[in-house]
Amino acid sequence: MMSSNDMTYQDYLDRINIQEVLLHAGYTLNRRDGMRYPSFVRLGSDGRRVHGDKFIVNQNGSTCFRPPEQKSYNVISLIKSFPSMFSENVSASSPDRLVNEVCRNILNVPSEERKCRIIEPHKEQEAFDLNNYSIHAFRKYDFEGIKKFYPYFVTRGISLDTQKAFGAHFILTTKESRNNSKSYTNLSFPLYVPGNTTVVGLEDRGRPRLDGSSGYKGKAIGSNSSEGLWIAALGKQELSDANHVYWFESGYDAMAYYQLHVKDNPSLSQAVFVSTGGNPTVGQMQRMLAVTPSATHHICFDNDLAGRQFAENLKGEIHRVALSSVVPTPERKPYLDSIPLSQDFTNGDADTLPVPLQEKYGKYESAWEEAMSMRQGHLSYEGDIKEQENLTRKLYREYRESVREFLGIDPQKIISFKREIPQRGKDWNEQVLIEQEENLKVLEDEEETRNVASGIDLDADGDIEVNESEEKKRVNYIKR
pLDDT tens-place string over residues 356-372 = 999 999 999 999 989 88
Residues 101 and 137 in one domain: no
pLDDT above 90: residue 56? no
**Confidence band for 34, pLDDT divided at 50, 70 and 90:** low
d(CA 466, CA 457): 9
Asked whether residue 297 falls in the same domain as residue 377, the answer is no
Question: Does 423 reside within a domain?
Answer: no
- Does the structure show a pLDDT above 60 at 231? yes
Mean pLDDT of 407-418: 92
Residue 153 maps to a domain = yes
Confidence category of residue 36, pLDDT binned at 50, 70, 90: low
Report the distance separating Cα 400 and Cα 363, nearest Å. Answer: 12
**Could you tell me if 175 and 308 lie in one domain?**
yes
Helix 382-407 with 355-377: angle, nearest 10 deg? 160
Q: How far is 156 from 442, CA to CA, in rounded Å? A: 19
- Over the stretch 302-312, which tens digit does the pLDDT of each residue have? 999 889 989 99
Instruction: Name the maximum alpha-carbon separation found in the chain.
Output: 97
Average pLDDT over every residue of 19-24: 90
Report pLDDT for 415: 94
Asked if 134 and 30 sit in the same domain, the reply is no
Query: Is residue 416 included in any domain, yes or no?
Result: no
Domain final residue pick, 377, 409, 441: 409
User: Please, which pLDDT band fits residue 31 given cuts at 50, 70 and 90?
Assistant: low
pLDDT at res. 285:
94
Contact 121, 162 (CB under 8 A): no
Is residue 422 in a domain? no
For range 436-440, the mean pLDDT = 88
| Residue 2 three-state SS | coil
Tell me what pLDDT residue 179 has. Answer: 63
Q: Which of 29-43, 90-104, 265-279, 401-415 has the weakest average pLDDT?
A: 29-43
- Is this model's pTM higher than 0.85 or not? no
Same domain? For 110 and 156 the reply is: no
Lowest-confidence pick of 106-120, 154-168, 306-320, 340-354 = 106-120
Residue 415 placed within a domain: no
Examine the domain organization and report whether 335 and 457 are in the same domain. Answer: no
The reply to whether 94 and 173 lie within a common domain is no
CA atoms within 13 A on the CB side of 305: 6
* Least confident window among 49-63, 165-179, 225-239: 49-63
Give the model's pLDDT for residue 449: 65
Identify the domain boundary among 290, 322, 354: 322
pLDDT given at position 392 = 94
Structural domain boundaries enclosing 473 = 428-479
- The amino acid sitting at 362 is G
Same domain? For 398 and 441 the reply is no
* Residues 332 and 326 sit within 8 Å (Cβ to Cβ): yes
Higher pLDDT: 418 or 116? It is: 418
Query: Of the candidates 119, 151, 180, which is a domain's last residue?
Result: 119
What is the DSSP secondary-structure string of 374-416?
HHHHS-S-HHHHHHHHHHHHHHHHHHHHHHHHHHT--GGG---
pLDDT value, residue 330 = 94
Please give the distance of CA 380 from its chain centroid, rounded to a whole number: 42
Higher pLDDT, 458 or 428: 428
Other beta carbons less than 10 A from residue 440's beta carbon: 11
Which stretches within 50-135 are classed as H helix? 75-81, 95-107, 111-119
**CA separation for the pair 133, 152 (Å, rounded):** 18
Structural domain contains residue 247: yes
Tens of pLDDT, residues 81-92: 888 888 888 776
Specify whether 344 is located in the same domain as 433.
Answer: no
| Residue range 184-199: mean pLDDT, rounded | 94
Mean pLDDT of the chain: 84
How many structural domains compose the chain? 4
* CB atoms inside a 10 Å sphere around CB 188: 26
**Whether the predicted pLDDT of 467 surpasses 60:** no
The Cα-based distances of 287 to 12, 118, 228, 325, 340 in angstroms read: 36, 31, 9, 17, 24
Q: What is the pLDDT of residue 461?
A: 52
Question: What is the reported pLDDT for 363?
Answer: 93
Q: Residue 173 falls within a domain, yes or no?
A: yes
Instruction: Tell me: do 273 and 156 sit in the same domain.
Output: yes
Residues 6+ apart with CB under 8 A from 383: none
Q: Kindly state whether residues 316 and 335 are assigned to the same domain.
A: no
Residue 188 sits in the same domain as residue 256: yes
Residue 280, CA atoms < 13 Å, CB-side half-sphere: 31
Is 379 a residue whose pLDDT tops 90?
no
CA atoms within 13 A on the CB side of 21: 32
Residue 78 has pLDDT above 70, yes or no: yes
257-274 average pLDDT score: 96
What pLDDT is stored for residue 67 in this prediction?
75
Whether 345 is covered by a domain: the verdict is: yes
